[in-house]
Chain A
Amino acid sequence: DQQVKQNSPSLSVQEGRISILNCDYTNSMFDYFLWYKKYPAEGPTFLISISSIKDKNEDGRFTVFLNKSAKHLSLHIVPSQPGDSAVYFCAASGGTSYGKLTFGQGTILTVHP
């Protein structure tokens, strides 16, 4: 049973425009959510996170929004750059063990120059 879902396998965006990546979850015990960026044959790198007590967290070009009632979060990248092209994973955890993560399937983002 897929507790974290990223329903869009891929997203294509023009450079300078906004990229919006979406993620849905089903487990109400999740209280911390993270986004990771991953290149092929490399480990994921942490991008941004949000606690369930917040509904928005911003870090430079990256903003994560959390809608607890809908069990939905999204990652906004503005403006998008070609270097942002990668696979983006949404992940969730419960409690304080932030390494014990449940991942979505990933979304391949391609930013065209």
Chain B
Amino acid sequence: DGGITQSPKYLFRKEGQNVTLSCEQNLNHDAMYWYRQDPGQGLRLIYYSQIVNDFQKGDIAEGYSVSREKKESFPLTVTSAQKNPTAFYLCATAQRNTEAFFGQGTRLTVV
């Protein structure tokens, strides 16, 4: 069945390590997005990609990197430069003139 798969659901990282969160979709949507949610706050846009091999920074891109080599995949790397990486990360997809669909999220905790 069609959807967005984020993995893993829970991820633990030691300080100073880079980690990569996976997002795969089979909805054939052109655009993909990464959001971050902190407790008691709304979602904030980290990066987005509207076509393969192209992506743009969102509002809070510092300390993160992405790639879009395939239409189906948009992995997010949380680098050691991200000062407060502990958060709930959500991947979303959208097609032109349709609402965004979200994955189930990855909770990242720095230990």
Q: How large is the interface on B (under 10, 10 to 19, 20 to 34, 35 or more residues)?
A: 20 to 34
Interface of chain A residues 32 through 91 with chain B (CB within 8 A): 34, 36, 41-46, 49, 89, 91
Option from A6, A36, A41, A97 in Cβ contact (under 8 Å) with B94: A97
A4 close to B (CB within 8 Å) = yes
Option from B93, B103, B104, B107 in Cβ contact (under 8 Å) with A99: B93
| Interface contact A44-B102, CB-CB below 8 Å | yes
User: Nearest chain A CB to B35's CB is how many angstroms away?
Assistant: 8
B55 close to A (CB within 8 Å) = no
Q: When A43-B102, A43-B104, A44-B90 are in contact, do A96 and B96 touch as well, CB less than 8 Å? A: yes
Q: A36–B101 Cα gap in the complex (Å)?
A: 10
Q: How large is the interface on A (under 10, 10 to 19, 20 to 34, 35 or more residues)?
A: 20 to 34
Chain B interface main SS type: strand
Interface residues of chain B, those whose CB is within 8 Å of chain A, are 4, 6, 31-33, 35, 40-45, 48, 50, 58, 88, 90, 92-94, 96-105, 107
Residues of B within 8 Å of A99, CB to CB, are 31-33, 48, 92-94, 100
User: Nearest chain B CB to A101's CB is how many angstroms away?
Assistant: 6
Residues of A within 8 Å of B94, CB to CB, are 97-99
Shortest 10 CB-CB contacts between residues of A and residues of B: A99-B94, A103-B42, A43-B102, A99-B100, A103-B43, A46-B99, A105-B42, A99-B33, A43-B104, A44-B102
